[in-house]
Chain A
């Protein structure tokens, strides 16, 4: 069986690391091999960040190369466009509709691209925009954006809902377990 490759992209500080930890736990619970690659240090300060997750029977390289990702989970629109070429033809992009202006836009040196979702839709991939912040608010905590996104991803991966829920439960602090479960289920219901 072919390995499954998932790319997580966003802006440093958005909490992409928890997302990859939950995916890693899912792989472990299914008895699969898994590798995760993260970036620490300077790029975590509001820069563009990428996390690679590969699971399957045997994983060698922790990296994902252009055109290889089966799924991309993106926390910010511009970052979805920046990394869209990493997704395999026919792959899925789950994109949070949030926009965060990068410094060249803030200073007026560049403009934030308009119509990103339309540009993405014209590519040979499946686009699934989600308003993860609204979902997280509905769940009761804006910090559960990650879990709502994972809910949507799990649905598109056609995964076992209970398995993912169990992974979420074991990866989040006990006192936020209920709200994270709720956010996951909202994401699952509205992929």
Chain B
């Protein structure tokens, strides 16, 4: 029987079948499950690296050593890994090297909607794009072969709907190629100007060869249909096209860079109207136009968001059935911090103190939402610290006394440390809050260097955040439990008043950690002393609700964390079992 696999699981399976030995990644939705699935194969050495740049460097090193290696990240992670990527294109590979990047059209869990295909063209790298789980497996295997055949890293691009959809997959066994010989080759691997000039020549020759070869087939399919309408498409858009216009002639591209331009030119000659269907940027369309192949594309649909079969059919002038109108005026249901979340205490304090809060990437970005409404800005991984520094430079020391950065433990280790050392070096007077919940939370609980465990759950050296900060030159370091609201406010006040760089580590484990869930506390209880003042509503806990009768605790949601207990001025909330 075929297996029902997520696109991400199928990529992992394909890599395993292709004999991958080393995989290094930093978690990021929608790519995370690839590396989690890889870690289940005992033959593969997998690791969570501190960030995407390090991940790619580890994978590159493994390739240099002669092994097949892979690195997986979300689209914005590729920005972090772009530096090694552009030069790995020059050196090429020894063992096959596959770089998986998962884009997020529609921004289900991302801060932007960038199109990673542009990296393929900018870095002169081939890019494959699967459209379902079977292709995720097949294309991953092919990517390794391609990488070695053309001496190049290969990009494999997913989008959320491919990465996080499950479909049936024919799986196979592992074929383990022998470790390739490692030979010192300065001209190929030491990228100084003299050697890089030579490698640039080799790179262009390789891409020219590949651009020719792709026209011979193997990387695209053509489905016959009416000559009235020809569609060029790839990835998930192909699936929508097959539903929207099943009568059209369809050319599905498996490789989106370099394009099989001559094959597309032939295809175009066979149809009266040529339309490119691709989400996000007009990446394929612009290349066709530049090559003198007339086509339509982004005139018909948006460069924003996800497509649907119906939207495509409509834009192509087809009649579509409309359903009922959605019910209007319903209260929204935005994501919220979980009951028992340690960040709730932190943001309650920062909000109460009226601070300007420079945020970062993680669950705690939800601190921007009402009623905690704390966060003023959020840009990218690690940016909170540099932003605080810039704000102080622009508005002065008095302003920085009312400003704090907040950054999670994993994000701090990913790219916050460099910002912190910059602030120390440049004489900043900033305060950085490290929200240490001892896990990478938002992406679903991956271990990080401060967790004390590796990807397999085995014990690993736990990096001490206090010692890291101290060794970077920070002389004012506070550690506090964010649920001790008085102490937290006092420590933050002291840190803000310190002339120099100060750090407050808010330390409390994530409420969803197994170790925390294993020791559940009984839910809290509201007693008759309640005067309905609404103070407990200010922390935005989903377990506390209010109606005409007053406040209620939802016992199925409450974790008994007790944050509301200390907040109640009437002492009307009792810890479970003590009412």
Chain A residues with CB under 8 Å of chain B are: 11-13, 20-21, 24-25, 28, 33-48, 59-63, 65-68, 78-79, 81-82, 84-89, 100-113, 119, 123-124, 142
Closest to A65 in B: B310
Closest to B104 in A: A41
Closest to B162 in A: A62
Least distance between A144 CB and chain B CB atoms (Å): 14
Least distance between B329 CB and chain A CB atoms (Å): 8
7 intermolecular pairs with C-beta atoms under 8 Å apart: A34-B167, A35-B167, A46-B338, A62-B161, A82-B330, A106-B545, A107-B537
Whether, in the assembled complex, B334 has its beta carbon less than 8 Å from a beta carbon of chain A, the answer is yes
Contact of B321 (CB < 8 Å), options: A20, A67, A119:
A67
Residues of B within 8 A of A113 (CB): 330-331
Decide if A63 touches B161 in the complex (CB within 8 Å). Answer: yes
Segment of B364-372, B384-392, B415-423, B427-435 in the binding face: B364-372
* Cα of A110 to Cα of B363 in the assembled complex, Å: 24
* Cα of A42 to Cα of B331 in the assembled complex, Å: 19
**Quick one: which of B395-416 are within 8 Å of A by CB?**
none
Decide if A66 touches B326 in the complex (CB within 8 Å). Answer: yes
* Cα of A36 to Cα of B3 in the assembled complex, Å: 13
* Cα of A13 to Cα of B370 in the assembled complex, Å: 21
Residues of A within 8 A of B308 (CB): 61, 63, 65
* Cα of A127 to Cα of B546 in the assembled complex, Å: 29
Binary A-proximity of B442-453 (CB < 8 A = 1, otherwise 0) = 111000000000
Whether, in the assembled complex, B258 has its beta carbon less than 8 Å from a beta carbon of chain A, the answer is no
Decide if B444 touches A40 in the complex (CB within 8 Å). Answer: yes
* Cα of A48 to Cα of B109 in the assembled complex, Å: 13
B interface secondary structure, majority: loop
* Cα of A109 to Cα of B330 in the assembled complex, Å: 12
Binary A-proximity of B328-364 (CB < 8 A = 1, otherwise 0) = 0011111111100000000000000000000000010
Contact of A84 (CB < 8 Å), options: B33, B310, B324, B371:
B324
Residues of A within 8 A of B109 (CB): 40-43
Residues of B within 8 A of A34 (CB): 4, 166-168
Least distance between B351 CB and chain A CB atoms (Å): 13
Whether, in the assembled complex, B218 has its beta carbon less than 8 Å from a beta carbon of chain A, the answer is no
Decide if B167 touches A40 in the complex (CB within 8 Å). Answer: no
* Cα of A85 to Cα of B338 in the assembled complex, Å: 29
Closest 6 CB pairs of A and B: A67-B323, A41-B109, A41-B29, A47-B335, A66-B323, A110-B331
Residues of A within 8 A of B380 (CB): none
* Cα of A119 to Cα of B541 in the assembled complex, Å: 29
Residues of A within 8 A of B542 (CB): 46, 100-101, 103, 106
Residues of A within 8 A of B331 (CB): 78, 102, 104-105, 109-113
Q: Taking A107-B371, A110-B331 as contacts, is the C-beta distance between A39 and B322 under 8 angstroms?
A: no
* Cα of A12 to Cα of B335 in the assembled complex, Å: 8
Decide if A46 touches B108 in the complex (CB within 8 Å). Answer: no
* Cα of A159 to Cα of B327 in the assembled complex, Å: 31
* Cα of A112 to Cα of B554 in the assembled complex, Å: 15
Least distance between B277 CB and chain A CB atoms (Å): 13
Q: Taking A28-B1, A33-B168, A63-B308 as contacts, is the C-beta distance between A85 and B333 under 8 angstroms?
A: no
Decide if B337 touches A45 in the complex (CB within 8 Å). Answer: yes
Residues of B within 8 A of A142 (CB): 556
Decide if A105 touches B30 in the complex (CB within 8 Å). Answer: no
Q: Taking A45-B337, A60-B243 as contacts, is the C-beta distance between A40 and B30 under 8 angstroms?
A: yes
Whether, in the assembled complex, B17 has its beta carbon less than 8 Å from a beta carbon of chain A, the answer is no
* Cα of A33 to Cα of B33 in the assembled complex, Å: 23
* Cα of A28 to Cα of B29 in the assembled complex, Å: 27
